Amino acid sequence: MNDDFLHRMRKAPPPGFLEELKARLDRQPNVPPERKRLGFGRGMIVGFLIAGVAFATASVSLTGWPTSASQFFGAPLEYLTQAFQHRNDSAADGSHTKPAQLGPWFPVHANPQTEPPPSTASAAALDSNAASTNGPSAAASGPQAAPSGAFAKPTGPLAGGQFQLGVQREIHSFVQSSLKGSWAGSVKLVDLPANDIFVSLCGYNNISSPRPDALITSRRIAAEPSCKRAHAHQIVELKLGYQAIVLARSKLYAPMYISPRMLYLALAERVPDPADPNRLIDNPYTTWSSTWKESSAAPPDDRIQVYGPAPSSPAGRLAAQLLLEAGCNTFPRLAALRDSNYPEYENACHQLRSDGHYSETPQGNDMTEMLNINPTALGIFTLRGFQVQKNRLNANPVSDVMPEYVFLGSESYPLSRTLYLYWAVYSNDWTRSLFDYLISPSFYETRYDLPWGFVALDEAESAMNRANFEARKYVQF
């Protein structure tokens, strides 16, 4: 593309500046502190000690509390003997090599080619093709008895054969309302806090809290430290869609400049004390101009008034998150709470004020009529809802970004978020039909009651999503 006019504006920095900066950098210590290392001998001893403790602990849990010293020391050998014996048996008869009996800490996985998962009653219901692939007997036989030397029989929720879908707590209601009909009984939703959601997928869990087969979340997985540390693999990232809201005013008034920080200061129940930002106080701001410090383009001195869904409703909770979170995160102390103290983060960043500046639209009143009567007020709409009314309303941009689909895709519209579906491919091949349903256009086209605030993918993104699903393109960490 002809972009020379953009390239030619580059220029070299002043030579004196570069030299002076380099000299300053060179004066700083440039030798990193030497890390203390164990000597070779000490390192070997420590390594053996750690390995011995780990092995002994594992063997005790595998075989139970030993009744004698010989049993304790013999347990590891017994375990290894069983493991290799079984491996040799499987290799000899040409069947798929199953992992050795690893005890309760490792999930049990089936070979999708030759055998069903340990609990197949519900798994077969998820995919009608499973029965034809593996034979009706496999699906109908129910939980499989563990053959000797093979997996431990799963306990806890896995034994019920339900597909485990981890869901970020804030979007639970959306997922629950989406999974209706035949899926509802086959999928177990597991609520997870946003700051910890990927640990469940990438870390190892006890069998009583099994690793979910998939996750639905608004966070991206690629930078997740726990997944990088665990060298997670075979995880596919798909998009479910977006959640977005629109702020709109009557056409009697032009839109005004609003930033996420202004919205937070205007609508949160408690905000940082201007005199002491480390302390939260009841929201003192009453006008839009009072949420600004200094500007030559201050917003009007209008009373803060926003109408929207009831704060206690699922729609209201979604509106609160989208309205407040971005601005709340501009305060570093509050943003840090998201990972360190999530309940406190929710209290600070997800609670709408209840003193009348945010109000539920009264029943029976048309929102647009209310905005015409009170033209300085703002109303909260879904994207679809606004499109129906756009001849009578002005959408208010946020940080100069209009609520348009293209800005949802580029994640630059502040009052929106993307919903991601992360599928751990190793876990269960029977989940395919569930995902096929969730990412297919028919999921949206056949429904007239899509969850409030949900925006489906357009044709292009939907096609890309489908391609990644079919190709199983794994996230690279």
Partner 1 sequence: MIVQNTVPDRSMDALSSEELDWDALYADLAPRVFNYFRYRLGRETDVEELTSRTFERAWRARTQYRRDLAGFSTWLFKIAQNVGTDYANTWRTHLPLEVAHEIAIDDSPASHAERRSDLARLAALTATLPARERELIALKYGASLNNRLIAELTGLSESNVGTLLHRLVKTLRTQWYGPAASIRDE
Residues that bind partner 1 (CB under 8 A): 1-3, 5-14, 17-18, 21-22, 24-25, 28, 30, 32-33, 220, 222, 228, 237-239, 259, 261-262, 291-297, 330, 397, 399-402, 407, 409-413, 464-465, 468, 473, 475-476
Q: Which helix (H) or strand (E) holds 273?
A: strand 270-273
Maximum distance among all Cα pairs of the chain, rounded to whole angstroms = 88
| Angle of helix 40-63 versus helix 69-92 axis, rounded to 10 | 80
DSSP 8-state assignment for residue 304: P
Distance of closest approach, residue 34 Cβ to partner 1, in angstroms = 10
Alpha carbons 173 and 185: distance in angstroms, whole number: 16
Nearer to partner 1 by Cβ, of 208 and 330: the residue is 330
Nearer to partner 1 by Cβ, of 177 and 440: the residue is 440
Distance of closest approach, residue 8 Cβ to partner 1, in angstroms = 8
Nearer to partner 1 by Cβ, of 25 and 69: the residue is 25
Nearer to partner 1 by Cβ, of 1 and 275: the residue is 1
Nearer to partner 1 by Cβ, of 87 and 220: the residue is 220
Question: What is the separation, in whole angstroms, between the first and last Cα of the chain?
Answer: 32
Distance of closest approach, residue 420 Cβ to partner 1, in angstroms = 8
Q: State the number of CA atoms in the 13 A half-sphere of 398 facing the CB.
A: 28
Both tokens assigned to 443:
């999921």
Both tokens assigned to 125:
């219901």
156 conformational bin, left if phi > 0, alpha if psi -120 to 50, beta if neither = left
Distance of closest approach, residue 122 Cβ to partner 1, in angstroms = 29
Distance of closest approach, residue 338 Cβ to partner 1, in angstroms = 17
Give residue 203's Cα distance to chain centre.
15
Residue at token pair 């930002």: 277
Alpha carbons 359 and 311: distance in angstroms, whole number: 9
Distance of closest approach, residue 7 Cβ to partner 1, in angstroms = 6
Nearer to partner 1 by Cβ, of 35 and 148: the residue is 35
